[in-house]
Amino acid sequence: MLPGNMMDRPLTVPSILDFAAEIHGDARVISARVEGDVHRYSYKDAHKRVSRLAHALRALGIGDGDRVATLAWNGYRHFELYYAISGIGAVCHTINPRLFEDQILYIVHHAEDRVLFLETSFLPLVEKLADRLPPDLRFVVMCAAGDLPETGLNVLAYEDLLAGQPDTIIWPDLDERQASGLCYTSGTTGNPKGVLYSHRSTLIHTMGLLAVGQSIGLSPERSLLPVVPLFHVNAWGLPFAAPLVGTDFVLPGTRLDGPGLFAFMDQEKVNTSWGVPTVWFGLLAEMRKHGRKPNGFDCVLIGGSAAPKPMIEEFERDFGVTVVHGWGMSEMSPVGSVGVFYARQRALPEEERMHLKTAQGRRMFGVEFKIADGEGTRLPHDGVAFGELHVRGPAIMSAYFNDEAATDGAFDDEGWLKTGDVARIDPNGFLFLVDRTKDVIKSGGEWISSIDLESAALAHPDVAECAVIAVPHPKWVERPLLITVLEDGSRLTAGEMQDFLGGKVAKWWLPDDVVFVDELPHTATGKLSKMTLREKFRDYRLPGV
Ligand code: ADP
């Protein structure tokens, strides 16, 4: 090998904020605070506070490789923690507060966290768990000393920590392969599993996003609001991508329901927002109520679960908001594909264009795809063959953190990560997710996509939310059951729903029964919890069985 003669400078997370402070110094971070008001500052100001925080962390004895946990909403202090912790070589471990208490306890112990930064609203939770947390864990409440609530815990106040620290810093020499962040997946079965990101993987993922940046709202002189939480998989990479490109970063705090989000987006003239479909159901309801979209809103990125076709149509046709559909997973930093459209796709006849929007997009630079059948044989990307999607790339996990049991079985013989998703890929590279391997309905040896059935049912105006799961059947092994939440006042019957679906899906796909419920269970990341539903309807007897 003839080595290239280029400098071997490491790719590091703090270099992003250094760049933003110097080049996009005036672009802003705007946060709805837990305290109730709105906080505004520039990336240049953020850099100063990050420097102070980094010095303060060192003063607490935090150093290379130490894990520092956060329990926090989307706000400027959480953003500061991302950079200060990883900047000094420690690891920013974001904890999802919506996990079960036992899961939170498990991950704090498993990660061996040294300090926990928490928002005031999570103090009651931490007080409740305190006896079972590691005895030497330190607590910092993310507020000013004057705002510290009464507590029996021994806590420090975030703003006290920063006081008196220098507002410049020379970052230590970091190895780009060292860990920078840690996030546990909710884990539908067993304990949560940790994904340990590196500086290098984070930078490569960020640059992958920026390669399609303009189409997904990542460009200067625009503003972007992540509804996707900073406490889960790095808010899909936005805390890194937004400052690098100089987008205003608008953080909604706890204003996450439809009315709260609408008002905040409207007030701050947010151009782009990213989040899971559940959130958009709420926002769309509010947009319908107002008969308009929030001021300035023109692009929405939907991921985390399949974006239903009626949702895409409503955003685009009724409100003029361009939908970009994306797919990824925690193990992939997390974005794997985005539905960026160029002239050729935009010019397609309307129905075809909409159909293509339901695809989960095309792979991002740095992510390779292959689909394989049950024996691991590669299948063609012809838009017809489908099998389990396997992925490979420099921002994709190579093992779970300190968890051999979970790592075993996560990869195929060639070292690709098995995603657990069943997909087709068309010759232009568009990924169509058929289902999760766990959720697909195996009826008489053929597969029925729960995602496609849900999307068809959602097209009915009376359906507010729905889920399709497999229930046991003596002849066909499994058959689909549709579980539906109706809009207020609707009196739709099971028979009418089945008739509605009749013309939309193959006859043998039709759900054998339709059940109406008041609400559906969701996971800690806002997705439908089909595991809970499967458990609940385990003994469900289909009509005639
Ligand atoms: P968690 O449930 O812990 O948040 P992830 O965020 O890693 O886990 O979830 C990844 C999974 O979410 C994917 O493997 C896929 O099944 C599903 N998913 C993500 N985006 C989409 C999408 N656009 N359409 C359908 N499924 C999606």
Ligand 1 atom with least separation from CA of 420: 14
Please say if the pLDDT value at position 187 is more than 70.
Answer: no
pLDDT at 188: 59
Confidence at 34, pLDDT banded by 50, 70, 90: confident
519 Cα: distance to centroid of ligand 1 (angstroms): 21
Q: Please, which residues have CB within 8 angstroms of residue 520's CB and are 6 or more apart in sequence?
A: 465, 466, 467, 483, 485, 528, 529, 533
Please say if the pLDDT value at position 249 is more than 80.
Answer: yes
Q: Please, which residues have CB within 8 angstroms of residue 52's CB and are 6 or more apart in sequence?
A: 162, 165, 166, 167
Domain 441-536 in CATH 3.30.300.30? The answer is: yes
Confidence at 124, pLDDT banded by 50, 70, 90: very high
Give the closest residue (by CA) to ligand 1 atom 10.
329
CA distance 292 to 236: 28
The active-site residue out of 442, 496, 508, 535 is: 442
* Most informative mutation of 233, 280, 527 for ligand 1 (most atoms within 8 A of CB): 527
Cβ of 327 closer than 6 Å to ligand 1, yes or no, is yes
Confidence at 497, pLDDT banded by 50, 70, 90: very high
Q: What is the pLDDT of residues 408-425, one digit of tens each?
A: 999 999 999 999 999 999
Q: Which two tokens stand for residue 77?
A: 């202090």
419 Cα: distance to centroid of ligand 1 (angstroms): 9
Domain boundaries 255-398+417-437, CATH class: alpha beta
Cβ of 306 closer than 6 Å to ligand 1, yes or no, is yes
Sequence ranges of the domains in the chain: 14-197+227-248, 255-398+417-437, 441-536
Please say if the pLDDT value at position 43 is more than 80.
Answer: yes
Whether the domain at 14-197+227-248 and the domain at 255-398+417-437 fall into the same CATH topology: yes
The active-site residue out of 331, 388, 454, 465 is: 331
Task: Compute the chain's Rg from CA coordinates.
Answer: 24
326 Cα: distance to centroid of ligand 1 (angstroms): 10
Cβ of 432 closer than 6 Å to ligand 1, yes or no, is no
Confidence at 527, pLDDT banded by 50, 70, 90: confident
Mean pLDDT on 425-446: 92
Sheet holding 417-425, edge to edge: 378-379, 368-372, 387-392, 417-425, 431-436
pTM score of the predicted model: 0.93
Cβ of 440 closer than 6 Å to ligand 1, yes or no, is no
9 Cα: distance to centroid of ligand 1 (angstroms): 34
Encoded amino acid at 410, one letter: A
Length of the chain measured in residues: 545
Q: In the predicted model, what is the mean pLDDT of the chain?
A: 95
Q: CATH fold of 14-197+227-248, please?
A: Rossmann fold (3.40.50)
Please say if the pLDDT value at position 374 is more than 90.
Answer: no
Q: What is the pLDDT of residues 314-342, one digit of tens each?
A: 999 999 999 999 999 999 999 999 999 99
